[in-house]
Amino acid sequence: MKNNPGFLPILLTTFLLVHGSFIRAQVTDPSKVASQDASNHANNDVNNGVNNSLTKTESAIKGLFKKKNKPAKVDSTQTSAGSTAAGGTAGAAAGANAGTTGGPLTLTAYSNYDFVPGEQVVFEDHFTDDQDGEFPEHWKLNKGQGIVNKVQGEQAFFLTEGNYVRVAPRMKTEKDYLPENFTIEFDFYHPQGAYPPVLLFTTSDNQSRNIGFGTSVGTSYFPNDFSAPFPGDNNHFDGKWHHAAMIKKGNQIKCYEDQYRVLVIPDCGSCKMSFVEVGGIGGADNPIVFRNFRIAEGGNMNLIGQKFTDAKIITHGINFDVDKSTIKPESMGTLNMIVKVMAVNPDLHFEIDGHTDNSGAAPHNLQLSQQRADAVKTQLITMGVDSARLTTKGLGDTKPISDNATQDGKANNRRVEFVRVDSKPS
């Protein structure tokens, strides 16, 4: 923090995280404010090697306050985000309807979604290869505690202790692996009363840049900090899965939660990101819980409004339930892009090719990839594309584009390609 004359002004002016909400210039709960402010300073001290005497002072002040309510434990009986539920409508009404019923959002709810993930996967982990109660293989523990456990029958990463707890993807190089332009996506479960997850970036010049997701999305330690409330149903935000996504392109950052674009930072200043951690304030009864974490290079391919001349479009943004052909709602950003490309190019015809990695038996992969390609075609037709402009082919694991021996290689091989065909499909 710059020009910090004392602790009290920080409480009144710093952007803080309280029960999943970022608050600016408003103190509603002194215990949360003190706790979060001390956490942010501790975080900054660790990153920059500052003398830890300030941390000790603030920790003593933080100890004067206690949380008023004990958060509820994660409820494993909630409806799974991968299940099928009755459809909603686009916009705020859809979010409210889904939140009220407790069911997952649908493709219809995401009809206006415009997030398109990067074209090259840098890191991806679904925690499916990890054992319950163990620390996940593809992550490093930098501070606090964390284990893999199940929510609604699916593996997730629980950050169970720390202020801040900090975990990081296990990469070949510890720093400078984030590209200039990149996207990050993950799902997070929000227990009642818990603190939400924070993406903890370190820049190439060793500065902190944090982005938090919850009932508000906001930043801290940026040259200018911003926050915006989640536009859906905040009254039913707790006790369910949410999808978080962000894209950094140049000096602009866009942040999404569920079907909404929540926050746009038009100029993040000096924000050449070097590496990222996931963290926040975690506890055994109020853990930070996330899964399906992905970093990809690029994002928001600049194809809309242009004459399409490429041989094909390789996409990693059309995702499916595990071992199924059910399209996940967050795939709508990529599907919307394809629809717009075809609208601008009325003579364009595509063969939709489904690809898998080499996990599982080859015949099963071939069948699954065909089913997924067919599901994409069906969805595009419902979005107004003429069926005569589309054909499908399942190729299983027969045409990898990366090494199946690595985790990120497998992630790049799981893809949907739109291959241009010069003549109208028969």
Structure tokens at 185: 């996506």
Task: Supply the DSSP string of 284-323, one letter for each residue.
Answer: SSS-EEEEEEEEEE--S-TTTTS---SSEEEES---BSTT
Same domain for 146 and 280?
A: yes
Indicate if the pLDDT at residue 3 is higher than 50.
no
Total Cβ atoms within 10 A of residue 120: 18
Lowest mean pLDDT among 40-49, 142-151, 236-245, 257-266: 40-49
Q: Is residue 72 part of a domain?
A: no
CATH number of the domain within which 387 lies: 3.30.1330.60
- In a domain, residue 34? The reply is yes
Q: Decide if pLDDT at 148 tops 50.
A: yes
| Residues 134 and 244 both lie in one domain | yes
Residue 271's pLDDT is what?
A: 86
**pLDDT tens digits, residue range 207-248?**
999 999 999 999 999 999 999 999 999 999 999 999 999 999
Same domain flag for 332 and 374: yes
- Boundary-marking domain end, from 20, 42, 62: 62
**Phi–psi pair at 19, nearest 5 degrees:** 45, 45
303 located within any domain: no
Confidence band, pLDDT 50/70/90 cuts, at residue 27: very low
Average pLDDT, the chain: 80
For the chain, the domain total comes to 3
On the question of pLDDT at 425 being above 90, the answer is no
Q: Is the dihedral of CA 262, 268, 273, 277 positive or negative?
A: negative
Position 35 pLDDT exceeds 50: no
Q: What percent of the chain has pLDDT over 90?
A: 66
3-state secondary structure of 5: coil
Same domain, yes or no: 285 and 321: no
d(CA 361, CA 278): 34
- Asked if omega into 164 is within 30° of 0 (cis), the reply is yes
pLDDT tens for 134-146 read: 999 999 999 999 9
In a domain, 307, yes or no: no
Q: Would residue 386 count as lying in a domain?
A: yes
Residue, of 30 and 2, whose pLDDT is higher = 2
Give CA 164 to chain center in angstroms. Answer: 19
410 close to 404: Cβ distance less than 8 angstroms: yes
Higher pLDDT, 195 or 31: 195
Residues 150 and 288 in one domain: yes
Q: What's the pTM value of the predicted model, to 2 decimals?
A: 0.77
Of residues 99 and 102, more confidence is placed in 102
Same domain as 357, residue 293: no
Comparing CA positions, the residue from 72, 71, 92 lying closest to residue 18 is: 71
Distance CA 300, CA 234 (A): 28
Looking at the structure, tell me whether residues 368 and 292 fall in a common domain.
Answer: no
* Residue at 93 is within a domain: no
Does 43 score more than 80 pLDDT?
A: no
118 found inside a domain: yes
Q: What's the rounded mean pLDDT across residues 177-199?
A: 94
Same domain, 256 and 347: no
Residue 91 has pLDDT above 80, yes or no: no
92 located within any domain: no
Which range of residues forms the domain containing residue 22? 7-62
CATH of the domain at 147: 2.60.120.200
294-331: buried (b, 16+ CB within 10 Å) or exposed (e) per residue?
bbbbbbbbebbeeebeeeebbbbbbbbeeeebebbbbb
Q: Are residues 281 and 192 in the same domain?
A: yes
